[in-house]
Amino acid sequence: MKDKSYTVYRYRWAILLVYMLAVAFNQLLWITFAPITGRAAEYFQVSDLSIGILSMSFMIAYLVVSIPASWVIDTYGFRVAVGIGAALTGIFGLMRGLVASSYTWVLIAQIGIAIGQPFILNAVTKVAARWFPMDERATATGFGSLAIYLGILVGMALTPAITLQLGIRPMLLIYGAGAFIAGFVFLFVAREYPPTPPGPAEQEERSLMFDGLKSALHKRDFLLLMFIFFIGLGAFNAVTTWIENIVRPRGFSITQAGYAGGLMILGGVLGALTLPAVSDHYRKRVPFMVLALVGAIPGLVGITYATGSFWLMATAFIFGFFLLSSGPIGFQLGAEIARPTPEGTSTGLLLLMGQISGIIFIFGMDALKNTTTGAMTNSLLILIGLMFICLLIATRLHESGLLEKTG
C-alpha cells in the first residue's frame, strides 16, 4: 500500500508534457536529414557521408557534453538543465534555417543543437523522480522517451513531404521556429519540485555525481545494462541515420524510406505507451527487457532483406515497437540498480553508450557498404548478431528489488 501522507499532484502531467515538447523538437532537429539524405547531398553538393555527419554530430557532441550536462542536472535540477538545452535547440534551430545555403554553417548550427541534447535527454529519470511516485516512474520515463520517438516520427514522415513541396530552407525554418517556441513554453510551465515529495525520502537519497559515477561503474548489472544500450541504442542510431541508404539499393524511394522510418518510430511510440506501463503494473523490469530484444531481432532481419513495401513497413514497425520500448524500461532499471547514483548520471551513462556505438556503427556501415550497389546488408547482419548477444546478456540481469519494497 502507498503511504497516504504523500500527495501526488496532477500538475506532474503538465511538467511531463512540456518536457516532452522540448525533447520532441530536439530530436526532430536531429533526424531532419536522415530521410532526405540523397536530396540534401545534392542541395549542399556534398557526399552522403557528409549528410550523415549532420546527424552524427549529435553523437560526437554527446561524448563531450554528457557528463557536464548530467552534473548540471544533478546539481541544479532538471528545469535549469532542460532550459539550457531547449534554448540551444531553439536558437541554433532558427539559425540553421537562416544559413541554409551553406553546408558549413548548417553543420555549425547542428552542433549547437547537438550540445543541447544531453541537457534535455539525460533529465528524463530526474523529471520522473521529482514529480512521480515509484510505481509510476517507468510510465513517466516511457512518456519522456515517447517524446524522442514522436520527434523522430515527425521528422521521418513529414520532412520528405515538406521538402518536396517547399524546399529544404523553408523546412528548416519551420522546424527552428517550432523549437524556439517549445523552449519558451518549457521555461514558463516547468517547476523543479512539487509542493510536497511524491514518496519517502529514502527513495530520493542520492550520492554526489562523481561518487555516484564510481558506484555505478562497480555494479555488475549496471555494466551489463550499459553493454545492452551500447548495442541496442547504437543500432537504432545507425539504422535511423542510414534508413534511406539501407532501402535505396532495393528500389525504394525517399518517400518510402521516410514511411519506413516513420513506422519504425510509430512502433516505438506504441511500445513506449504500453510496455513500461505493464512493467510498472507487474513491478518487473528484466522480463520486459528480454521480451523487447526477442521482438526486435526479427524486425531488424526484415529491414535487412525485405524487397516488398508491405514487408519493409511491417518489419520496421516491429523493430521499432520492441527495441524502442526497451529504452524507458532500461533507463528506469538503470536508475534503480545504480542507486545511490543520481538519476541524471545513470541515464547519461546509458545514453553515452549509445552515442559512442552510434558513431562506430554509422562509420562502419558506410565503410562496409557494397561499393557497386551501395547495399548495407553485411553491416546489418553484424548488427543482428550483436543483438543476439544482447539478448543473452539481458537474461543475466537481476531486478533491483526496489519495486518490491514499495509494494
Q: Are 82 and 315 in contact (CB under 8 A)?
A: no
Examine residue 201 and state whether it is found in any structural domain, yes or no. Answer: no
How confident is the model over 319-329, as a mean pLDDT? Answer: 88
Number of H helices and E strands in the chain, helices first, is 17, 0
Q: Left if phi > 0, otherwise alpha if psi is -120 to 50, otherwise beta: which for 370?
A: beta
pLDDT tens-digit series, residues 142-159: 788 788 878 888 887 789
Q: Which of 89-93, 133-137, 178-182 bottoms out in mean pLDDT, i.e. has the lowest?
A: 133-137
Mean of per-residue pLDDT scores for the chain: 86
Examine residue 355 and state whether it is found in any structural domain, yes or no. Answer: yes
Number of Cα atoms under 13 Å in the Cβ half of residue 187: 14
pLDDT tens-digit series, residues 71-123: 898 889 999 999 999 999 999 999 999 999 999 999 999 999 999 999 999 88
> What is the per-residue pLDDT for 207?
42
Examine residue 379 and state whether it is found in any structural domain, yes or no. Answer: yes
* Number of domains, the chain: 1
Alpha helix (H) residue ranges in 77-167: 78-98, 103-121, 124-131, 137-166
Examine residue 203 and state whether it is found in any structural domain, yes or no. Answer: no
Confidence of residue 205 (pLDDT cuts 50, 70, 90): very low
- Separation CA 350–CA 330 (nearest Å): 9
CATH classification of the domain holding 46: 1.20.1250.20
Confidence of residue 2 (pLDDT cuts 50, 70, 90): very low
> pTM for the full model?
0.75
Examine residue 1 and state whether it is found in any structural domain, yes or no. Answer: no
- Separation CA 241–CA 259 (nearest Å): 14
Residue 208, pLDDT > 50, answer no
| 407 secondary structure, DSSP code | -
Confidence of residue 406 (pLDDT cuts 50, 70, 90): low
Q: What are phi and psi of 199, to 5 degrees?
A: -170, 180
Examine residue 370 and state whether it is found in any structural domain, yes or no. Answer: yes
Examine residue 261 and state whether it is found in any structural domain, yes or no. Answer: yes
- Separation CA 190–CA 138 (nearest Å): 20
Confidence of residue 140 (pLDDT cuts 50, 70, 90): confident
Examine residue 234 and state whether it is found in any structural domain, yes or no. Answer: yes
- B/e letters for 198-216, b = 16+ CB within 10 Å, e = fewer, are bbeeebeebbebeebbebb
**Domain residue limits at 216:** 11-192+209-405
